[in-house]
Structure formats: C-alpha cells, structure tokens
Amino acid sequence: MKKFSNILVAVLAVLLITSCGKQDNGQLVGVLDRPTWKGINPYGMVYIPSGTLHIGPSDQDVNHTLVQRPKSISIQGFYMDDTEITNNEYRQFTNWIRDSLAHDILDNYAETDDGQRYIDWENAEIDWEDDALEELYYRENERFSYKKEFDTDKFAFEYQWMDWKKAAHDYGQSKRTQFIKKNKVKVYPDTLVWIRDFTYSYNEPMTRNYYWHPAFDDYPVVGVTWEQANAFCYWRTKLWNAYKTKAGEVNTEDFRLPTEHEWEYGARGGHDLAPFPWGGYYVRNAKGCILANFKPGRGNYPEDGGLYTVKADAYFPNDYGLYNMAGNVAEWTSSAFYENAYSFLHDLNPDIRYDAKKTDPKAWKRKVLRGGSWKDIAFFIQTGTRNYEYQDTAKSYIGFRCALTFLGRSINDFN
C-alpha cells in the first residue's frame, strides 16, 4: 500500500508540473509546452528508408566510368512523390498564382490582429466579370479567334531559399539577408516545347492541348524549367505549412527536388546495383511486354503503349511504390552536374549544388537529369545513367517529382 501511495504522489507531482507549465521546482525537466509531433504521411508520397547505395555504372559501361565511378554512399530516409508531378497538380499551382493576382487587383484582403494582411481564401470570392481584371487577359488585338484568354506571361511567382553552405562558412560575419536568396519566375509551362524540340515534325496538337485539356490531366507536366520546378516546391511548402499552422500543428521540412543520389536510391527500389527499377537486366518481361515508356527502336515510339508520354501511374511501380522511375519523362534533380563529381563528393548524403546566376556561363547552369524519357533509348532509362540540361531550359520530355526529408528515426528505419 505504501509503495502504491508513493507512485501516486509521483504521478500527481508530474501532472502538477506539466499542468502548470512551469519549471520553478529546481529540476531539469525540459521545456514543457512543446507541440506534439506524430509524424507525417504526405498524400501521394511514399517513404524510402535510410540505407546504403552503391552508385556508378549499372553495367559494363567503359565510356562512362569516368563520370560514374563506383562509390558506396549512405542516404537519409525521405519521402518521394510516387508519380511525376502531373498537369492537374501543377495546374493547382498556376491557378493559385492566377487567383492571387486577381485577389490583389480586387484588394480582397483581410487583416490579422497585429495588422498583417492576408488573402482569406475561404470567404473572398473573385468576380471574373469585373472590369478591373481585364489586365489579366490578352488585349483585344492580341486575341486569337476573338477568344478571351489569360495572358499567362503575367503568372509570375517569387520563390526563396536559404544558402546554408554560405551561412555555415560565414561564421556570423554577415547579416542574415546575405544568405536569403530570391528568384522571380514565370510559372506557366512552355507549351511550345512540343514544336521547338522537334524539327520537321507535326506536334501542334500537343502544344494546343497537352497542358490544359482534361484528357491529359494525369500525364506528367512538361515544359517546366528547373527554376519553375523549384518555385513549385516552395509554393507547395507554403500551402502545406499554412494548413498545418491553421490546424495547430508544427511545420515540417520543405518540399524540394531530390538530390541525384536520392533519386537513384529511390529508383533502384531496394535492389542494389539494379540497372532498372524493376531489378532485371532486360526492358521486357517474360511475355515480351515492354516495362517502361521509352524508344525501343529507331522510329519506333508506340510499341511500349505511348507515342509521347503516358499517364504518370502507368506500368508497374518498383518495390518502393514509385512509378515511372525509368522513362516517360526525365526528371530534374537539385544537383549541379559535374563530370567528375563522383571523384570528390561525400559518402554521407552526397549533394553538389551551385546557384547559377543568369549572367553565369552556360556550363555553370547544368543540372542533373535522371530516368530518361519517352524519346530516349534504353541506355538513358537505366538507374545509374547521368545526364544534364540547363536550369533555364524547358523541354517536352523533362518533368519532376518532389522529395521531403524524413524527420526523426525509428528502429525500423535501419532494418
């Protein structure tokens, strides 16, 4: 009985401490009013546990041993979108920009108690017939077939990022503003890529329809530059954090582009040294069916089931649950492209970045592409093949998907 009484007193003491939220009892109990954290499960993403990856050529590729030297690295657990970002998902972004511009013109703002202005998305309505919004449309002399259409060149968005490496090496010598980087970009996809990318080829129907027609809603968005992809990730983070804050929950890590080695680790699906996401050495299964959307032969685009791109969840996913990590569209990563990167990158979460300015030489703007696309031959859809494109370039065969760093560790993360 005495033992039970002592336990009861101890429990009551703990409850008293936590209920008051004070730390004046002289004991080291930590900060007691911390928010709860139950973890997250982002919609449309899959969890990829921490592990070791052997990077380098997936096959006996003599020509690429200098840019893909074998190396053992470790990757921290993260989430990744199970599909490429689709047209309809990216349209949520461009529509948000469009509506924000309209709210700004109509002055549809509310104020917080401390005087901060914000858009009340739930209550503020947009009257698209208001004459004040005419500036969002093409002028009458610029309209094709007299249709009233939005001037998408006005859909611009400023995204930000922190230059953590520069801040880490500064040792507090500069103001924080020196490390906050900003870039304002036009966010609407370049729909003319379908014509620009191919000479002597009739692709005007794709230019007219691919981004906006409902038939292509679930297809991967293309015509998006590396900078636009980063703008999307920044907006997606703001959208997520606004919801979490309203729900009284703590904010999470930022959505971002995966590093090239996170991408490769995810693409292999837990199969070390696997040349393809499905693990095998062949691009066809036992029945002769092609396992990805790529170019299986010269002049032979449709044999795999898609003349151009296919739906983002077409074909079977790999063992992590990721779709189209080979083919369909090549995907942007956050990594800068250097031919000899494997010679000096770190073996723990390797990451090489360079924030190229508009005035920098073109070679400094190279960003790593992974996965190959619907127009590429089988070599480019291998999990270990590296390629690049310039950060300010849009193509009809390049898309992206987002990643999100996993916070904390569970014992199962290493099993």
What DSSP letter does each residue of 329-368 carry, written as one string? SEEEEEEEP-TTGGGT--SBS--------TTS-GGGGEEE
Question: How many structural domains is the chain composed of?
Answer: 1
Specify the pTM. 0.90
pLDDT of residue 120: 79
Residue 130 lies in a domain: no
pLDDT of residue 137: 94
Residue 319 lies in a domain: yes
pLDDT of residue 414: 44
pLDDT of residue 11: 46
Residue 80 lies in a domain: yes
Domain containing residue 267: CATH number: 3.90.1580.10
Residue 200 lies in a domain: no
pLDDT of residue 401: 98
Residue 385 lies in a domain: yes
Contact 98, 61 (CB under 8 A): no
Tokens 């092609």 locate to 290
3-state SS class at 409: coil
pLDDT under 70: residue ranges of the chain: 1-24, 57-67, 409-415
Residue 373 lies in a domain: yes
- CB burial class (10 A; 0-12, 13-18, 19+) of residue 154? middle
pLDDT of residue 38: 74
Q: What is the rounded distance in angstroms from the CA atom of residue 400 to the CA atom of residue 313?
A: 14
Q: What is the rounded distance in angstroms from the CA atom of residue 73 to the CA atom of residue 261?
A: 9
- Domain coverage including residue 278: 47-86+221-414
Residue 237 lies in a domain: yes
pLDDT of residue 378: 92
- The amino acid at 237: T
pLDDT of residue 411: 45
Q: How many helices (H) and strands (E) does the chain have?
A: 7, 13
Torsion on CA atoms 270, 275, 278, 281, rounded to nearest 10? -130
Residue 27 lies in a domain: no
